[in-house]
Amino acid sequence: MRKGFIRAIMLSVFLGLCLLVSAMEEEDSSGVFFSPMLSTWGLGVVVGYRCADLMVPGTATSVFAGTEGGYFYGTYYRLPDGTVFSGTRGAFSPDDVGFNYWMVEWKSGLKQGFLSKGGHDFLGLELIYTGDWRHHVENEGALLFASSVPEKEGLLMHELRVSVFADYVLPHILHQYKEGMGAEVWFRMVPPGMGEGSGGTVSYYGVGGETKASFTVYDSDPEGDEFCVVLVTHALFEHMWGEHVPFFELGYATEYLRGVDGQGLDTPNSGVANAELRFYLPSPGLAFNLTIWPVLYVFSDNGYFWDEAFEEGVFVSSAGLGCALELAPVGVLSLSTQWRLTDTNVDGTRWSPLYLSLGSYLF
């Protein structure tokens, strides 16, 4: 009964945020903008101001600030001696990889569009400062609290990030689901003196890139919202280095591997390639100018993780299927089930029954 009540609240918040974003969308390319964020146990908001043609015609400058916070679940897969935990070892069991934590982030930044039109930046540069406070809730027997990493109880750090992007992903002119291509490269860092864990300092640097492509491969009725098939591909790579990289920043690509845990994947180099085929079923209509789409999808997630020698890395793969309710173009509520195709997770399983996503697809 209690779980059903919580799901009802989450669904209501999701629908409310979608309607709020839809109501605030404007055709003008200048003015105040508002972007809510929703995760399973967290909430956030970003507000800003956008000024078009400030430098020269066809450009746009945006400044923004926001915050996000919540109560989350994390994992740590190392024994006290630093080796990878691969199952029941001594006093530790697979249940000991998990821990809970409180997190609050705050950010501010500048986004400069060099090719902009109608409120969208096609080419641009973004500078972001992010403050991150974490408190890890101690769990008796958890691997994290048996370790010697300086951030085992929590930390406070300040990250600076600069990126260059091309974003040609836009809502379909009729169906409103998003399609197109985009790419981004970035550099981020927590300089020395800008990160402090409960047991010492943290400092790191990272460079990476990401690409995404989404396009319609079949449209049964170009004049109406009937059956459509959309193919989405995604790829990402990141390299990390520095005095001490927090464990949760390593192996960043694991966030795009459904059904795969982080066992042995906390490496400074990580890459992932994804493909997803979405089947848009006939739409029942519009709600507040949003197109309601029931969606079925199948996917394949593949990643590669290594320390220094590329040839000694680890390849992981998973596949699955799911269903979603998409309120195009502003929000998605999706549920999937997935199978790990290589090796097993730390608890010996390959199948992860349910993965819930609020707000957007994985990519």
Asked if the structure places residue 272 within a domain, the reply is yes
Amino acid 3: pLDDT: 47
Asked if the structure places residue 315 within a domain, the reply is yes
3-state per-residue secondary structure call for the chain: CHHHHHHHHHHHHHHHHHHHHHHHCCCCCCEEEEEEEEECCEEEEEEEEEEECCCCCCCEEEEEEEEEEEEEEEECCECCCCCECCCCECCECHHHHEEEEEEEEEEEEEEEEEEEECCEEEEEEEEEEEEEEEEEECCCCCHHHHCCCCCCCEEEEEEEEEEEEEECCEECCCCCCEEEEEEEEEEEEECCCCEEECCEECEEEEEEEEEEEEEEEEECCCCCCCCEEEEEEEEEEEEEEEEECCHHHCCHHHHHCCCCCCCCCCCCEEEEEEEEEEEECCCCEEECCEEEEEEEEEEEEEEEEECCCHHHCEEEEEEEEEEEEEEECCEEEEEEEEEECCCCCCCCCCEEEEEEEECCCCC
Residue 64 domain boundaries: 2-358
Asked if the structure places residue 33 within a domain, the reply is yes
d(CA 93, CA 73): 17
Asked if the structure places residue 25 within a domain, the reply is yes
Amino acid 5: pLDDT: 45
Over range 117-141, report the average pLDDT.
93
Asked if the structure places residue 363 within a domain, the reply is no
State how many domains the chain has: 1
Asked if the structure places residue 152 within a domain, the reply is yes
d(CA 6, CA 40): 10
Range with the lowest mean pLDDT among 4-8, 85-89, 165-169, 177-181?
Answer: 4-8
The 10s digit of each residue's pLDDT in 27-59 is: 456 799 988 877 667 889 999 999 998 878 999
d(CA 93, CA 142): 9
The 10s digit of each residue's pLDDT in 77-102 is: 999 999 999 887 778 999 999 999 99
Taking the model in full, what pTM does it have?
0.90
CATH of the domain at 188: 2.40.160
The 10s digit of each residue's pLDDT in 223-253 is: 999 999 999 999 999 999 999 999 999 999 9
Asked if the structure places residue 331 within a domain, the reply is yes
Asked if the structure places residue 26 within a domain, the reply is yes
